[in-house]
Amino acid sequence: MNKPDNPDDALQRLVGDYADMLFRIALVHLKNWHDAEDVVQRVFIELYETWPEFSSDEHRKAWLIRVTIHRCKDCLKSAWKQRVVPLNEDVLGIDFELSDITRAVLKLPVNDRLVILLHAYMGYTIREIADITGHKPPAVATRLHRARKKLKLDIG
């Protein structure tokens, strides 16, 4: 799949198809709405500027997920993030309606949150998650098992 004849229209279609999914992944990683939006925007800019060759739609989707995860890690490592203390939503008067399960998932370490999101919410298999994250399938299965165990303890 080469660079399309009209990259602007192709990008607009891809944003419509994948932006929500990438935003959820970024939000799970960063726990910050605005940072998640920034990361997704950067991912699409990177796609537009480089327009790598994809062998299939699944390959493109996996690339977008991997790049989103990497940009989230970059964001968390940034000097700005290291020095800034986030405001508590209570101070801002913002009331986020989150289910007990969502709150429990957000308390998990980032890698556990990711496998839960990819498996339970997006329906990826352990092998597909391994391909996306670059880990071996047994490691993904172990992480998923431990994350479920933690959720079960937290939720009751």
- The CATH number of the structural domain formed by 98-156 is 1.10.10.10
pLDDT of residue 146: 93
pLDDT of residue 91: 43
User: Which part of the chain has CATH 1.10.1740?
Assistant: 1-96
Within the chain, which residues score under 50 in pLDDT?
Answer: 89-95
Which pTM was predicted? 0.71
pLDDT of residue 101: 78
- The CATH number of the structural domain formed by 1-96 is 1.10.1740
User: Which part of the chain has CATH 1.10.10.10?
Assistant: 98-156
pLDDT of residue 94: 44
Q: What does the alpha-carbon distance between residue 143 and residue 61 come to, in Å, rounded to a whole number?
A: 22
